[in-house]
Amino acid sequence: MRNFILLLPLLFLCCKPNSNLVADVVEVTSQKSAAIHYQVKEHEVADMLQYLSSDELEGRETGRKGMEKAAVYLETFFKSNNVAPYFSSYRDTLSNFKGTAYNIVGYIEGSDPVLKKEFILISGHYDHIGLSKTAVNGDFINNGANDDASGTTAVAEMAKYFSATKSNKRSLLFVFFVGEEKGLLGSKHLAKKLKEQNFNLYAQFNIEMIGVPMKRDYLAYISGFDKSNMASKINQYTGKNTIGFLRKEAELRLFYRSDNYSFYDVFHVPCHSVSTFDFDNFDYYHHVSDEFKMMDIVHMTSFIQEMLPAVTEMTNTASREIHMN
């Protein structure tokens, strides 16, 4: 997640639980829930996360060789899971970066002849901050397991689910953004490009830092909670208190600090990031200790599984039930 670096003094103050700093409001759910029989596999979640956050990728800095290795890995994943490229290839080369970098973009067409003209964008950023100039206990590599190999893994698992089940009436665009850590470059580039092509975006569901669980009575929070009814609709679709309100998110204006904002700014439709990083549960934001061994694979798998009914319903409702407030 971008632009926390200026807030690090505050962030570290927040790493200790403090009820005066964080308050939660949980949406009331209805009884509606889509039946999902597909099972996300823990070992597959672990395998992808472990590779993306491995030392081999040297922190996946935009434009560096570690980023290139990650891109090839994600392209191969799309190919092996029958997720088609949206453009002529999976690589969407950035127009706003001096070096060479690219988003990785996959596409699953919707099954309904009318609804397939509308798109849900499911995304996460696969870049991170690369190598530190100064070592911490001999370690220079910012592996970025939580930020955002965890979100990238969740997006990949959702793409695998929809490819296997063919359960989407609306079309789906799966995007692994690059350049998020450089200033949301990948999402800014793609949002402008798609707008110029009259892309029909219904909503964006961006996944950011979901590697460790929160100790709360809901699973995750979304940025910009009050900007649309997405939170209440997700809870309706899952039949649980899946999404809650995190006051710290509102205080720090996280809605404007991740790749959801680029699309909201251009399309003016519901675009949110979902996260389980709540400033109490993880001490290693932009730190060399943000490594695979710190991640909770059981939690990640459960997170993806619980979100499947929500994203399925988003793709299949007869009307656009999610809307701006």
Q: Domains in the chain: how many in total?
A: 1
Average pLDDT over residues 24-51: 78
Whether 128 maps to a domain, the answer reads yes
Q: Output the pLDDT for position 1.
A: 66
Average pLDDT over residues 271-297: 97
Determine the longest span between alpha carbons in the chain, in angstroms. 57
Look up the CATH number of the domain holding residue 189: 3.40.630.10
Q: Is 247 exposed, middle or buried (0-12, 13-18, 19+ CB in 10 A)?
A: middle
Whether 252 maps to a domain, the answer reads yes
User: Is the per-residue pLDDT at 78 higher than 80?
Assistant: yes
Whether 321 maps to a domain, the answer reads no
Q: Output the pLDDT for position 22.
A: 36
**At 151, is the pLDDT very low, low, confident or very high (cuts 50, 70, 90)?**
very high
Q: Output the pLDDT for position 26.
A: 46
- Backbone dihedral region for residue 253 (phi beyond 0: left; psi -120 to 50: alpha; all else: beta): left
* Percent with pLDDT over 90 in the chain: 89
Helix, strand and coil in the chain, % to nearest 5: 40, 20, 40
Q: Output the pLDDT for position 31.
A: 47
Distance CA 189, CA 206 (A): 16
Average pLDDT over residues 83-108: 98
User: Is the per-residue pLDDT at 160 higher than 90?
Assistant: yes
Q: Output the pLDDT for position 32.
A: 57
User: Is the per-residue pLDDT at 6 higher than 90?
Assistant: no
Distance CA 21, CA 232 (A): 24
Q: Output the pLDDT for position 239.
A: 96
Q: Output the pLDDT for position 35.
A: 78
Whether 323 maps to a domain, the answer reads no
Average pLDDT over residues 6-33: 41
Residues 6+ apart with CB under 8 A from 50: 292
Q: pTM above 0.95?
A: no
Q: Output the pLDDT for position 36.
A: 86
Q: Output the pLDDT for position 205.
A: 98
* Percent with pLDDT over 70 in the chain: 90
Whether 275 maps to a domain, the answer reads yes
Residue 281 three-state SS: coil
DSSP alpha helices (H): ranges in the chain?
A: 8-14, 42-52, 65-80, 150-165, 185-196, 230-238, 247-252, 260-267, 297-316
* Side chain identity at residue 128, one-letter code: H
User: Is the per-residue pLDDT at 21 higher than 90?
Assistant: no
Alpha carbon 307 to its chain's center: 12
**pLDDT tens, 25-37?**
444 444 456 678 9
Residue 261 three-state SS: helix
Whether 63 maps to a domain, the answer reads yes
Whether 77 maps to a domain, the answer reads yes
| Enclosing domain of residue 247 | 5-12+22-316
Q: Which two tokens stand for residue 300?
A: 């990640």
When the pLDDT of each residue in the chain is averaged and rounded to a whole number, the result is 92
